[in-house]
Structure 1
């Protein structure tokens, strides 16, 4: 980046900083959402809630299906 370009784009520095922070937050959230250990922990929590009777069988099945789908790698041609 040359001196002139640097001076002309200086007012955009705060915007670039905010975009960078947003990208970092998105990446971190995506990794946490798809972390196998976290998904397995959530499956255990769903099972415990089912056994305690705090959620219905249908709700537990729906949550488990979503969590298992997050564990499996995407297959081409399947909706994700």
Structure 2
């Protein structure tokens, strides 16, 4: 990048910085959402709710299905990111 290009694009620097920050926030949110260990922890907590009687079996089944779908999605996300997604 030459001196003239640097001078001409200087007013756009805050936009580039903001875009980078937003990309980092999105990346961090994706990593948290697609963390299989987090989903497994939620499944374990759900099972404890069932065994302690805080929720009924039908509620457990519904929420377990949602979490298992999310776990499958998370594992697929990480497989894709390892393959150069």
* Aligned twin of 1:36: 36
1:1-80 mapped onto 2 (5 Å cutoff) = 1-72=1-72, 73=76
Figure out how many residues of one structure are paired with residues of the other and give that number.
Answer: 74
Select the structure that is richer in helix.
2
Structure with larger RCO (C-alpha < 8 A, sep 6+): 2
Q: How far did 1:19 drift? A: 0.9
CA RMSD for the aligned pairs?
2.1
Q: So what's the TM-score if we normalise by structure 2?
A: 0.68
What runs of 5+ residues in structure 2 fail to find an aligned partner? 78-85
CA apart distance, 1:17:
1.0
The normalised TM-score by structure 1 is 0.71
